Amino acid sequence: MKRVYVNEEWCLGCHLCEYYCAFANSNEKDMAKALKNVIIHPRIQLEEGDNINFAVSCRHCDDPLCVKGCITGALSINDGVITADTNKCIGCYTCILCCPYGAISPGEHGVIQKCELCTTNIKGSPHCVVGCPNSAIVFEER
C-alpha cells in the first residue's frame, strides 16, 4: 500500500506540509480563505531538532493499536487506510494513549483527528506531499 514517508535528510523544517494538510482538511477551495487568521491543527506535525527536522503523520499500521484500543469502534481500517468516524468518536483519547508515533491528536468539537491520506477530503490524495518544496515528503509503496 502507498504511504506517506518523510526523508529527514531533505526536510527543511518549513512547516508547509502542516499548512497544506490544514488546507486540504478544511475542504475549502481557496488556500488563503481556508487559512487566513486560522490557528491550524494539522494532522501531519513537524518535529524540530538542532540539525534535523521531520514531519510525522499516521503510519497506517497493518496491525494498528489505535483501532484495537478504540473504545467506540470509531476507528477502522478501510482499504488499508485507518479512518476515524468522528460521528461515533466521543473524544476519550484512548487512541492517543495507544499510538506509538504520536500521530493522532485532539481535533475540533471534542473528537480526534488523524491523517487519512486525504482520502476523506476534497483533495483525494496526500496534499502534504504536494506542498513540500524540497520533495522530502513522498507518497509511495515500500
Partner 1 sequence: MKYVIIGNSTAAVGAIEGIRKIDSAGEIIVISKESYHVYSRPLISYLLYGKTDEERMKYRKDNFYKAMNCKTILGKKAVKIHHASKVVELDDNTHINYDKLLIATGSEPFIPPMEGLENVKQKFTFMSLDDAKNLEKALSPDSKVLIIGAGLIGLKCAEGIRKRVNNITVVDLADRILSSILDQEGANVVQSHLEKENINFILNTSVTKFLNNKALLSNGEEIDFDVLVLAVGVRPNVDLIKEINGKVNRGIVVDEFCQTSLFDIYAAGDCCESYDITTNQNRVLALLPNAYMMGECAGINMAGGEKTYDKAIPMNSIGFFGLHMVTAGNYDGEVYTQNEFGQYKKLFVKDGLLKGYIIVGNIEKAGIYTSLIRERTPLSDIDFELICSKPSLMAFSKIERKKKLGGAVHGY
Site of interaction with partner 1 (CB under 8 A): 1, 3, 5-6, 8, 47-49, 52, 54, 56, 59-63, 65, 68-69, 71-73, 87-88, 90-102, 104-106, 110, 142
Grouping H, G, I as helix, E, B as strand and the rest as coil, residue 88 is coil
Q: How far is the CB of 36 from partner 1 (least distance, A)?
A: 25
Nearer to partner 1, 25 or 53 (CB): 53
Nearer to partner 1, 29 or 79 (CB): 79
CB 25 within 8 A of CB 12: no
Q: How far is the CB of 34 from partner 1 (least distance, A)?
A: 23
Nearer to partner 1, 32 or 108 (CB): 108
Q: How far is the CB of 40 from partner 1 (least distance, A)?
A: 15
What is the C-alpha separation between 105 and 102, in angstroms, rounded?
8
Nearer to partner 1, 37 or 51 (CB): 51
Longest dimension (CA), the chain: 41
User: What SS3 string covers 9-62?
Assistant: CCCCCCCHHHHHHHHHHHCCCCHHHHHCCCCCCCCCEEEECCCCEEEECCCCCC
